[in-house]
Structure 1
Amino acid sequence: MSDTPSTIETSTTPSRGFGWNDTAELHRCEDGGGLFHNFKTIRRGTVAELIAFVMGLPEEKQDDYAIEKDGDHTFRIGEIRNLYRRADFPGA
């Protein structure tokens, strides 16, 4: 579940921080260029797990991947690197 409040939430409690444990999918960018290339999921896991996976790849390969946080946002390499550098990144 995302830590980002929905637009219909009535709670005034501030969000708890970034959703490192939210579920996500890893996609290869422009994989083959076919009609359904954006739907090919390489692996699933938490946002933190997939960020660590991408950052563990050789630097020249990292730009080939994107992480799609369930129902929320797609992270490209610039955002992935910024999240990896955050002080609250799990395992940092």
Structure 2
Amino acid sequence: MADHPSTFGGTPLDTDEDAWEDRAALHNKASSDGIISGGNALRRGTFAEMIRHIAMLPEDERRDYVIEKKGDREYSAEEAMALASRDDFPKA
């Protein structure tokens, strides 16, 4: 997750590191009109905090949200829930 390239056209390193402390933002998919930007973030914090927030939502509401993580990678609610269930996911 943390292995995004640091240069234009660079190749990501495969360190197999999960960067739970990377900066992230929670977005409502409907209000973003398909464009996720820092200006329409509902909440900001670490990647782990945003995953925890989605996990606390009622199951039928989760699909309305996405997480944008440092490096411009977006995670769906389904991906967030899969990450939250991992053994190495940090507990609060």
Q: TM-score range by the shorter chain?
A: 0.7 to 0.9
CA contact (8 A) 1:5 1:15 kept: no
In structure 1, the partner of 2:31 is 31
Query: Which residue identity does 2:41 align to in structure 1?
Result: T
CA contact (8 A) 1:62 1:77 kept: yes
Q: Which structure is larger by alpha-carbon Rg, 1 or 2?
A: 1
Alignment partners' CA distance in 1, 2:3 and 2:21: 12
In structure 1, the partner of 2:82 is 82
**TM value normalised by structure 2:** 0.77
- Aligned pairs for 1:11-90 within 5 A: 15=15, 17-31=17-31, 33=33, 38-39=36-37, 40-90=40-90
Instruction: Give 5+ residue unaligned stretches, structure 1.
Output: none
**TM value normalised by structure 1:** 0.77
Tell me the percent identity.
34
CA-based RMSD of the aligned residues comes to 2.7
Alignment partners' CA distance in 2, 1:44 and 1:90: 17
Aligned residue pairs, count: 86
CA contact (8 A) 1:25 1:67 kept: yes
Question: Would you identify which runs of 4 or more consecutive aligned residues in structure 1 move more than 6 Å?
Answer: none
**1:32–1:73 CA distance, 2 compared to 1 (3 A):** closer
Give 1:3 shift: 3.4
**1:41–1:8 CA distance, 2 compared to 1 (3 A):** same
Give 1:5 shift: 5.5
CA contact (8 A) 1:30 1:38 kept: no
> Which region of structure 1 is more displaced relative to structure 2, 43-52 or 16-25?
16-25
**1:73–1:8 CA distance, 2 compared to 1 (3 A):** closer
